[in-house]
Each structure stands twice: as structure tokens, then as C-alpha cells.
Amino acid sequence: MDPVALPSPGEFTVIDFRPRNTAPQSIHANLRIASWNIERGYQLEGIIKTLQQCRAHIILLQEVDWLCERTGNKNILNEIAVALSMQAVYGVEFRELHSPRRTPRLQGGGVHGNAILSCFDLDAPRCHVYQHKPFVWHHSRRYEPREGARNALLADCDTPWGKVSLACTHLENRCGMPGRLRQLQELLEQPEMRSGPLVIGGDLNTLAHGIARLHPVSWDPWTWRFWGRSEGSIWEQLLSDPRSLAPLPAGLDGLPDLVRGLRDPFDSRRDITFRKFGGIYRARLDWLLGRGLQWSAPGRLAFQGSERYSDHTLVMADAKLQSGVL
């Protein structure tokens, strides 16, 4: 495909490779949901193998390339959806510009974004482009020349037990904690997120602790207020007791009410999903936030070997179905 014909940042496309006239696999008592930052899709064969082993009914993917030179000019999502026989929605965050400033490992030429896959029908897809942009990517072309902005890919999933609203997102890494919380608040303000069963999954980049605090993007008073604690633990406190972090930074007054009822099945101290510098830096960046459902067991870092195929570990959890409603 000519790169000109690719969807633009903020646009989405839908593909469907489910067998015709075949009922989707039964979910029995649980709905299995997985989320994974696949690091552009460099290790596509291993990524597909891992996702096949998971047998998840809903898969949320971040950092998915389409026709980028660094990943062999492949349509990464198309190959995954074919292998898994699933419907998929792809939302473009960035046009990755081909540039001599990029190394071969980072060379662009295509687009890059988030994806939702499911064996059930996906309806009403759209991209919500974050209005709060703590970092403007097209103003910084030193290492990754690109056009576009962070966004969330939204869709409704029609399960046999009713509709579940889904959001797959990759929050900003080039900012302190308040910037990411502002983006979370903006996402939760969307009409689809305000009622009914909800799952938000993705790489939320909760990274502002340890040596990451030394980077200038984390030099804000609120991030430094929690010296000695991981950003993930602060988010967990926000979810368990929304008003315990008062006073919140400016612009976040509505967040405590918006996060009420959200639950995540992981533990930031135990469930590490990202390692760098030989393990010197460790963080839990990847989340599954649910409301209107009950996680049937503690979440798990599914198939620990997944880190062989990406710089993030795949996370997965089962949602327990109660009274015929998620």
C-alpha cells in the first residue's frame, strides 16, 4: 500500500478475519482480557505464538507498526488478526516519518498506533486524541521524527453477556505523573467511559520513580512529593482511596470521582512489566483497569517468556461474570 493511503493520525480502520458462520469460542464463566505493548512488532512470530497461547477473548495492543521499515514494512496487526482469526480495530497515533535522523532500528515510513482484537463483535470504534499534550511530538524531531499525538482507541465489545466498553491507550512518557493523570481524567470523561462495564488497558507509562526521576521531564513538584515511592503505588492508592492524595495538582479536581470503582488485578511491587539497564530500573507500566466487573483472580504476567518478544511483559486477567452481566 502506498503510504499516502494509510490512515492518518487520529483515524481508525477495521478488519475481520473471523470464520464466517462460526460461533465464537465459549467464554464459560470468565472473559479473558490481555494487554501488551509489543514494541512495534519486531518479534512478530514470537508475538503471535504468545497470543495464541493466551487464548484471550479480548486483546489490547500498543506500539503496533504498519508499513514501517524497522519492522519489515509489514502490516503487523493484519498478520496477528489473521493468525488469531479475530476482528480488530486499529487506531493511528503517529505517522512515523522516514528520516536520516533515525537509525535502522527506528526507521519509519509508515504509521504506529494501538489495536483492539476480539472474537466477539467490536462496535462504535473511534480514536480520542488527547487534548492535554504534556509533550508535543512533532516539535521534537531529534530521534523519532513523527507527526500525530497520543490517543485512546475506544470500542464497544458485544459479549454474550452484554456490552463492554473498551479503551486501549498508551499514555505519555515524556512528562511527570500529573501529565499522565490528566490524560487518564480526560479519557474517563468520555461518554463511553461514564456508565456500564468498562475495561481500560494499556501501557500507562507509570515510570516516575528510581533513576527515571533524574530525567528533566519528571522535575515537577507533585512527582517529587512522592520521593521513594513508585508511580505505580501512587496510582494504586488513587484507585483504592481516591481522596487520600489531596491536594491534587491543578486541573485534576474531578479525577477522584471519575476513578471511583475502577479496579486493577495486579500489584506494583510484585508485577514488574518493564526492565531496563540490566534490571537496575524496574517498573510496572502495564495496567488493566476494570469497572462493572469482578476480576476472578489476581492478574498474571501471562507466559513470562513474553519479554523475549518485547521490552514489555504481557499482562492478562479473567473477568468473573455475575448475574449474567459483566
pLDDT at 277 (0 to 100): 85
| Range of lowest pLDDT (8-17, 77-86, 100-109, 122-131) | 100-109
CATH architecture entry for 12-17+30-320: 4-Layer Sandwich (3.60)
Q: What's the rounded mean pLDDT across residues 228-251?
A: 93
**Residue 21 predicted with pLDDT over 50:** yes
- Split at pLDDT 50, 70, 90, the class of 303 is low
pLDDT at 48 (0 to 100): 97
**Residue 140 predicted with pLDDT over 80:** no
Most confident of 17-21, 140-144, 145-149, 292-296: 145-149
Q: What's the chain's average pLDDT? A: 90
pLDDT at 179 (0 to 100): 96
Query: Could you state, in order of their start, the residue ranges of all structural domains in the chain?
Result: 12-17+30-320
pLDDT at 324 (0 to 100): 45
- Split at pLDDT 50, 70, 90, the class of 304 is low
**Cell numbers at residue 312, please?**
514489555
**Residue 325 predicted with pLDDT over 50:** no
**174, 155 Cβ separation under 8 angstroms:** no
**Residue 1 predicted with pLDDT over 50:** no
Q: Which has more confidence, 25 or 75? A: 75
pLDDT at 302 (0 to 100): 60
Q: What's the rounded mean pLDDT across residues 33-39?
A: 97
**Residue 135 predicted with pLDDT over 80:** yes
**Residue 2 predicted with pLDDT over 60:** no
Instruction: State percent of the chain over pLDDT 90.
Output: 72
